[in-house]
C-alpha cells in the first residue's frame, strides 16, 4: 500500500480528493489537511510515500511547501490554474491535476505515482557502513555498481543510463533519475541538470558551464548552478 496524504484548503475539493484516495485499492489515506503548515509536523514524524497537494493556499503555497521538504515524497499537484504546471514540474512533480478533475484523471496520476514508487524500490542500497556501492536491476539481472566507477548518470523519461569509467556502453535501468539520486551519497554525487547527475570525484575539466568527460559535455543548468558553484568555491585554489 502507498501511504498517501491529501492537502487542500478548499473543504469540498479536499473531500473529493479523500473519496478518490479511499476508493483506490493501492492507496492508503494516512491523513488529510486544509493547510500545508499543519501537514509539516506530520510529514516529519510519519512515513509518507505520496502527497496530493493543492498549489494555491493561504500562508504557504503548495510549491513553497514542496521546497521546504528535505526528502520529499512523490507529489501530484492539484490546482484550478494551468499556468502553475511548469513550476510544479520544475519541482519534479509526478503529475498535475487541473480542477475540476474526475476519478479517471485522478487514477491515471495515481498509477503513474505507483509506477515511480515501485521503480524507486527496485534500487537497493548496500547494507555496509562504508557505502561504496549499490545494486541496480538491468537486463533481467541485478548488478553491483561501485560508486567510484560511475562517471555520470543520465535520466531519459522512464529509465536511466549509468555511464561507467572504462566501459563503452552505459548500463540501462528502468528507474527515475530522482530515485537513484536519493540512494547516492551527496558528498560524492551532485545533480547539475534536470537530466544529469555527475560523480564529483571524476570531474577533471569544466568549460563554459559544462562538465567535460572526454568528448561528452554535461550542461550545468541555472537551477543547479549556485549549488555547483559552492562546491567549486570550497575546492578552488
Which of 88, 121, 154 is the last residue before a domain boundary? 121
Domain holding 186: CATH number? 2.40.50.1020
Last residue of a domain, one of 104, 121, 138: 121
Most confidently modeled range among 18-22, 164-168, 206-210, 220-224: 18-22
pLDDT tens, 26-52?
999 999 999 998 898 898 888 899 999
What domain range is 211 assigned to? Answer: 124-235
> What mean pLDDT do residues 158-177 have?
88
Report the number of distinct structural domains present in the chain. 2
Mean predicted lDDT score pLDDT of the chain = 86
pLDDT cut 70: percent of the chain above it = 91
DSSP sequence for 137-190 = EETTEEEEEEGGGEEEEEEETTEEEEEETT-SSPEEES--HHHHHTTS-TTTEE
**Backbone dihedral region for residue 23 (phi beyond 0: left; psi -120 to 50: alpha; all else: beta):** alpha
Q: What is the pLDDT of residue 41?
A: 85
Interval 193-199 mean pLDDT:
94
Own/partner pairs, 112-118, CB within 8 angstroms, 24+ separation? 113/2, 113/50, 113/74, 113/76, 114/2, 114/26, 115/158, 116/74, 116/176, 116/179, 117/2, 117/49, 117/50, 117/74
Q: What is the pLDDT of residue 123?
A: 58
Amino acid at each position: 500500500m502507498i501511504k498517501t496524504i491529501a492537502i487542500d484548503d478548499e473543504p469540498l475539493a479536499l473531500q473529493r480528493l479523500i473519496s478518490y484516495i479511499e476508493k483506490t485499492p493501492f492507496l492508503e489515506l494516512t491523513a488529510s489537511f486544509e493547510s500545508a503548515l499543519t501537514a509539516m509536523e506530520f510529514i516529519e514524524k510519519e512515513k509518507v510515500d505520496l502527497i496530493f497537494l493543492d498549489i494555491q493556499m493561504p500562508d504557504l503555497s503548495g510549491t513553497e511547501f514542496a521546497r521546504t521538504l528535505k526528502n520529499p515524497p512523490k507529489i501530484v499537484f492539484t490546482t484550478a490554474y494551468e499556468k502553475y504546471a511548469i513550476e510544479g514540474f520544475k519541482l519534479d512533480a509526478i503529475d498535475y491535476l487541473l480542477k475540476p478533475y474526475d476519478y479517471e484523471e485522478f487514477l491515471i496520476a495515481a498509477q503513474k505515482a505507483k509506477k515511480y514508487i515501485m521503480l524507486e524500490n527496485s534500487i537497493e542500497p548496500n547494507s555496509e557502513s562504508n557505502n561504496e556501492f549499490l545494486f541496480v536491476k538491468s537486463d533481467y539481472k541485478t548488478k553491483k555498481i561501485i560508486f567510484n566507477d560511475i562517471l555520470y548518470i543520465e535520466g531519459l523519461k522512464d529509465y536511466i543510463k549509468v555511464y561507467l569509467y572504462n566501459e563503452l556502453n552505459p548500463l540501462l535501468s528502468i528507474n527515475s533519475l530522482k530515485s537513484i539520486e536519493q540512494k547516492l551519497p551527496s558528498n560524492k554525487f551532485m545533480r547539475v541538470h534536470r537530466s544529469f547527475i555527475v560523480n564529483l570525484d571524476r570531474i577533471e575539466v569544466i568549460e563554459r558551464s559544462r562538465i567535460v568527460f572526454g568528448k561528452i559535455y554535461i550542461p550545468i543548468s541555472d537551477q543547479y548552478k549556485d549549488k555547483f558553484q559552492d562546491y567549486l568555491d570550497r575546492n578552488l585554489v
